[in-house]
C-alpha cells in the first residue's frame, strides 16, 4: 500500500492546474492566425497546436489545441495566458520552468508537458509572418 500513496503524491496536481483543466483558456483554433505550429512528444504521443496572431511584433491573440495528458492541456492553456500581449522577444524568453511555476508546479513525471508547450511556442514564433 505505501507504493500507492507515493504514486498519488507524485501525480497530485495544484489547484491552479486543476482550474486550467476545468476551464481551459483560449482553447481552439485562431481563424486569423498568421502563424500556426504543431509539436508532439514521440514517446507519449502528447500533441499541442498553437496558433498566434502577431501584429507589429506583439502577440495579439493565442489559441491552442492539446491532445494527451492533463498537464499538457493545462500547459497549453496557461501558456496562451502568459504570452498574449507580449512581444515576440518577451515570449521567446519564457522557459518551461516559468510555465511550471505559473501552474504551481508539475509532477516530476509530467515535466514533458511544459517542455512540449515551450517547444511549440518557439516553433510558432520562428514561423511568424510579418504583418503590419
Average pLDDT over all residues of the chain? 89
Using the predicted structure, report yes or no on whether residue 9 has a pLDDT greater than 90.
no
Pick the range with the lowest mean pLDDT from 22-26, 49-53, 63-67, 125-129: 125-129
CATH topology of domain 2-126: Sufe protein. Chain: A (3.90.1010)
Is the distance from CB of 107 to CB of 10 less than 8 angstroms? yes
Q: What is the pLDDT of residue 10?
A: 43
Is the distance from CB of 11 to CB of 17 less than 8 angstroms? no
Tens of pLDDT, residue by residue over 83-111, are: 999 999 999 999 999 999 999 999 888 99
Tens of pLDDT, residue by residue over 55-87, are: 999 999 999 999 999 999 999 999 999 999 999
Residue boundaries of the structural domains of the chain? 2-126
State how far the Cα of 116 lies from the Cα of 130, in Å rounded to an integer: 25
**Cut 0.85: pTM above it:** yes
Q: What is the pLDDT of residue 132?
A: 40
Q: What is the pLDDT of residue 5?
A: 39
- Enter the C-alpha cell of residue 20: 486550467
Residue 127: pLDDT band with limits 50, 70, 90 = confident
Coil, strand or helix at 21: helix
Q: What is the pLDDT of residue 91?
A: 98
Q: What is the pLDDT of residue 11?
A: 60
Amino acid at each position: 500500500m505505501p507504493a500507492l500513496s507515493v504514486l498519488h503524491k507524485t501525480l497530485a496536481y495544484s489547484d491552479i492546474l486543476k482550474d486550467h483543466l476545468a476551464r481551459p483558456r483560449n482553447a481552439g483554433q485562431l481563424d486569423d492566425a498568421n502563424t500556426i505550429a504543431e509539436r508532439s512528444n514521440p514517446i507519449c504521443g502528447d500533441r499541442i497546436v498553437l496558433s498566434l496572431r502577431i501584429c507589429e511584433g506583439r502577440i495579439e491573440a493565442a489559441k491552442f489545441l492539446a491532445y494527451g495528458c492533463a498537464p499538457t492541456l493545462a500547459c497549453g492553456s496557461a501558456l496562451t495566458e502568459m504570452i498574449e500581449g507580449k512581444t515576440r522577444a518577451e515570449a521567446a524568453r519564457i522557459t518551461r520552468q516559468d510555465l511550471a511555476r505559473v501552474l504551481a508546479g508539475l509532477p516530476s513525471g509530467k515535466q514533458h508537458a511544459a517542455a512540449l508547450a515551450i517547444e511549440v511556442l518557439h516553433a510558432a514564433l520562428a514561423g511568424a509572418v510579418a504583418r503590419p
